[in-house]
C-alpha cells in the first residue's frame, strides 16, 4: 500500500484523509506541484519548489516549511514507497477553518505528498501523435487568476477536458478571452513554423510549465529560434509541427488540430529531436534520493 505523507507523518493511503472543513476542499484554496522521479533522481526539484513558493506567495499563504524540509520529505516519500521512477504530487491546502471564505480561521496549512507509480502515456501517443480540438470553454482570464499560480482551482480545465472527451479527444486547446491560444487543459503548447518555435506567453493564460522551460533551454542548445508570442488557432492550423509539454506528458507530438492536419500529419522531425533531448536530460539531471 502506498504511504502518503500527511502533515508530518507517513500514513497508509487508506488512512490519508483530510477534514471536510479544509478550505482546499471547500473552496479549492490551495496549490500543488506535479513532479517526476526518473531513475532515482527527482527532476527539476528546485524549480518545482520555487514555483510552489511563488504560488504560495501569490495566494498569500505562508509556507511554514523550508525548501530543504520540503525537498527532504519529497525524497523520503519516494524512498518509503521504494520508487525509482514515478510521479510525485505535492499539495498544500489552506488548512482547516470555518465555513466562511476568509482563510483567517485557517490556522495552519496542510501538506500532502503522494509518490506513486505513474500511469505513463501509451507509446502510441508518441509514435502516432495526438489529435486535439479547440474547446468552447475559455481559459480563466489572467486578470482574474494569474496563470502562474498552480492552484487547486482546476474546474476551468476540467470542463474543457470533459468537453473534449465527449467528442472523443483526449486534449483540448484552450483559448483566452481575447481568442489567443493559452495552453491545453494540462499541458503547454508549442508550434514550429519555418524552423521557428513559438509558444504563448504566460500572460496569454499559460502556466509557467517546468517542461516548457526545459524545452526553451533545449531550443537554445539545438539552435532553434524560439519566441513567446500570441498565437491564434490559425497559427496552430498552419504550423509545420506542434507539440505539447508537461511533467506527465513530457514532449508529445500533435498531428491534427480541429480536423486540420499539422504538417504531414505525422509526428514532426524537430519534435522528435526535442523529445530525445528532453529524455536525455531527465536521465542525466536531477536531485538524487
Residues designated as active site: 150
* Strand (E) or helix (H) holding 52: helix 45-58
Cα(253)–Cα(197) distance, integer angstroms: 14
Contact flag: residue 135 with ligand PMP (CB under 6 A): no
Nearest to ligand PMP of 89, 266 (CB atom): 89
Nearest to ligand PMP of 116, 183 (CB atom): 183
Contact flag: residue 59 with ligand PMP (CB under 6 A): no
The stretch near ligand PMP (CB under 6 A) out of 21-29, 100-108, 109-117, 179-187 is 179-187
Which residue in 24, 109, 135, 186 binds ligand PMP (CB under 6 A)?
186
Q: To the nearest whole angstrom, how small is the minimum distance from the Cβ of residue 180 to ligand PMP?
A: 15
Binding mask 228-247 for ligand PMP (x = CB under 6 A): -----------------xxx
b/e 274-288 (16+ beta carbons within 10 angstroms → b): bbebbeebbeeebbe
Nearest to ligand PMP of 106, 149 (CB atom): 149
Residue sitting closest to ligand PMP (CB): 209
Q: How many residues line the site for ligand PMP (CB under 6 A)?
A: 14
Nearest to ligand PMP of 106, 191 (CB atom): 191
Of residues 206 through 225, those in contact with ligand PMP by CB under 6 A are 207, 209-212
What beta strand segments (E) does the chain contain? 3-6, 9-12, 30-38, 41-42, 86-93, 110-116, 130-134, 172-175, 181-184, 188-193, 196-199, 226-228, 241-246, 250-257, 260-261, 287-288
For 196, the grid coordinates are: 521557428
Residue indicated by cell numbers 486547446 = 173
Residue 156, Cα to own-chain centre: how many angstroms? 14
Q: Quick one: CA dihedral 44, 13, 105, 99, positive or negative?
A: positive
Contact flag: residue 201 with ligand PMP (CB under 6 A): no
Q: Using CB under 6 A as the criterion, which residues of the chain lie in contact with ligand PMP when the complex forms?
A: 34, 157, 183, 186-188, 207, 209-212, 245-247
Amino acid at each position: 500500500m502506498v504511504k502518503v505523507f500527511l502533515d508530518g507523518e507517513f500514513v497508509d493511503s487508506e488512512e490519508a484523509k483530510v477534514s471536510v472543513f479544509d478550505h482546499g476542499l471547500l473552496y479549492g484554496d490551495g496549490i500543488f506541484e506535479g513532479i517526476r522521479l526518473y531513475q532515482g533522481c527527482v527532476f527539476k526539484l528546485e524549480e518545482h519548489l520555487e514555483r510552489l513558493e511563488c504560488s504560495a506567495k501569490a495566494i498569500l499563504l505562508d509556507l511554514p516549511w523550508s525548501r530543504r524540509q520540503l525537498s527532504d520529505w519529497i525524497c523520503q516519500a519516494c524512498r518509503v514507497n521504494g520508487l525509482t521512477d514515478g510521479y510525485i504530487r505535492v499539495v498544500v491546502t489552506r488548512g482547516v477553518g470555518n465555513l466562511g471564505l476568509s482563510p483567517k480561521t485557517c490556522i495552519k496549512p496542510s501538506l500532502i505528498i503522494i509518490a506513486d507509480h505513474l500511469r505513463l502515456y501509451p507509446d502510441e501517443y508518441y509514435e502516432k501523435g495526438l489529435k486535439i480540438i479547440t474547446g468552447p470553454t475559455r481559459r480563466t482570464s489572467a486578470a482574474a487568476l494569474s496563470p502562474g499560480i498552480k492552484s487547486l482551482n482546476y474546474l476551468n480545465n476540467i470542463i474543457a477536458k470533459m468537453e473534449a472527451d465527449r467528442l472523443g479527444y483526449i486534449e483540448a486547446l484552450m483559448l483566452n478571452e481575447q481568442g489567443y491560444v493559452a495552453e491545453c487543459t494540462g499541458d503547454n503548447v508549442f508550434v514550429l513554423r519555418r524552423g521557428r518555435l513559438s509558444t504563448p506567453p504566460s500572460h496569454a493564460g499559460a502556466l509557467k510549465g517546468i517542461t516548457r522551460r526545459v524545452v526553451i533551454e533545449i531550443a537554445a542548445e539545438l539552435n532553434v529560434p524560439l519566441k513567446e508570442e500570441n498565437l491564434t488557432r490559425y497559427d496552430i492550423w498552419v504550423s509545420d509541427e506542434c507539440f505539447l509539454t508537461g511533467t506527465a506528458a513530457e514532449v508529445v507530438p500533435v498531428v491534427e488540430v480541429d480536423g486540420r492536419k499539422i504538417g504531414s500529419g505525422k509526428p514532426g522531425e524537430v519534435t522528435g529531436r526535442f523529445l530525445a533531448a528532453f529524455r536525455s536530460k531527465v536521465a542525466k539531471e536531477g536531485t538524487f534520493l
